[in-house]
Amino acid sequence: MADARELLIRRIGAQGDGVADLDGEPIFVPFTLPGERIEAEVEGERARLQRVLSPSAERAAPVCKHFGKCGGCSVQHMASDTYAEWKRNLVVDAFRSRGLEPVIDALQRTAGKRRRAVMKAERTPEGVALGFYEASSHDLVAIEECPVLEPKIVAALPVIGNLIAPLLSKHGEARVAITLTKSGLDVEISGIERQLTPEVRTALAAKASDMKLVRLVVRNEVVVETLHPFLSFGTTDVILPPGVFVQAVEEAETEIARRVVAAVGKAKAVADLFCGMGAFTFPLAARSRVAAFDGDKAAVVALTSAAKKTSGLKPITATVRDLFREPLSPLELNEHDAVVFDPPRAGAEAQSQRLTKSKVKTVVAVSCNPATLARDTRHLVDGGYKIESVTPIDQFLYSAHVEVVAVLRR
C-alpha cells in the first residue's frame, strides 16, 4: 500500500517529473515543480500527487482537460519560460554527460500542431473510443480535445471510431494511425483480430469515401484511395506510402530543413543519410547535388518517383541501404562536401565513426534523442570536428522529447 508523505520538490527530472529526496533517495512526482511542497502517495521511487500545499510561482494552468490523466503530455503545468529552459537543459545535460560543453541555443518554438497521431481504439458500451494511454498505464483515455493535434484530426475521431467498429470484436482493440496530408486524412488500421471479408471491405470503402478520407489502409492493405495522400518538401510533392515515417509537425520540419540548408551553404555535393521521403533532400537539391540513402525501400521509391517529376532541382540519386549495418565508407563519404544525417532514436554511431576517417568538411546532425546525438557528436569531435552550433527545436510540445540540430566543421 502506498505511503502518504509530505515532500519538497528540488528539481525537474529528464521526463518532466518533479524530484524530491526521501531518506537519501530520489522520488519522482509527476506534475510538480521545484520549490513546491506537496503531499503524495509514495511507492518505491515513484509517487502519486495528492495535492500541492505550496504552489510554485512557475505553475501554469493546463490547456487541456485531459492533462494529468492522458499520457500524451507531461508538462502542461509549467510556465512558458520554465518549460523552455528545462527543454534546453535536456540538451545541455546530454552533451555534458559526454564531456562536451558547447553553447546551446535557446529553445526554438514552433506554433504548429501535430499532423500525425498514433492512437489506440477500443470498443466500449457506447461504441468505439479513440485516444492515448493513461500515464503509466495501458488504460485508454478517450480524447475529446487535444491542443497539440491538428483540429481536423480531433474532429474526425468520432467518425473514424464509427468507421472501424465492424473490425473490432466485443472486447477488441486496434492501432490507428491518422495523418493529415496535403490532400486530406490518411488512416491506417492495424492490430485487429477480425478478418477483412469482402462484405466488410466494401462497407469500409463506402464509409471512407463518404467521410472523404483520401486513403484507408487495413493490415497494410489499401481498402480505398480516393486521392493520393501527399506531403510537400521544398517545392516537391511526395506521395506518402503506407507506414512510412513522417515528422510530427510540418512547421518544425520546415525550420529544421531551413537550418540544414543554411549550414550546408554552397556545398556542391551533399549526402543525405537516413533521408526518409526527402524532407531535407529536396530543399538541399535546390542548389546542391544530393545522394540520398535510407533503409526504408518504400520511402526511397517515393522520393525517387517525386524527384523524377520535379523540375528545377540539382541531380538527386536515392539508394536503399541499411546504414546501421552498412554505413558509408570514408571513400564514399569523400565524394561529398557535406553530410546530413537524421537517424532514428538509436542514433548513427557507426556512421559517425566512419565520418571521423573522412575528409568531409561539414556535418549536420539532426536528432530526436539528445543522448545519442551527444554520443555521436563526441565521436566527431574526437575525430577532428568542431561544434559550430547546437539548436533545440520544440517539435513535441508539452512532452520530454526535443529535436536538435547540430552543425560541425572540420
Q: Enumerate the active-site residues.
A: 368
Q: Read off the amino acid at residue 95.
A: F
Q: Which stretch of DSSP H or E encloses residue 261? A: helix 250-264
Say how far apart CA 284 and CA 112 lie, in whole Å. Answer: 23
- Give the total residue count for the chain: 410
Q: Which three cell numbers stand for residue 229?
A: 495522400
Residue with cell 508539452: 398
Please state, as a whole number, how many other Cβ atoms lie within 10 Å of the Cβ of residue 262.
Answer: 11
Kindly list the distances between the CA atom of residue 39 and the CA atoms of 13, 50, 118, 213, in Å, as whole numbers in the listed order.
18, 6, 34, 48
Strand 173-181, strand 221-225: pairing? unpaired
Say how far apart CA 145 and CA 69 lie, in whole Å. Answer: 13
CB 117 within 8 A of CB 178: yes
Say how far apart CA 25 and CA 341 lie, in whole Å. Answer: 39
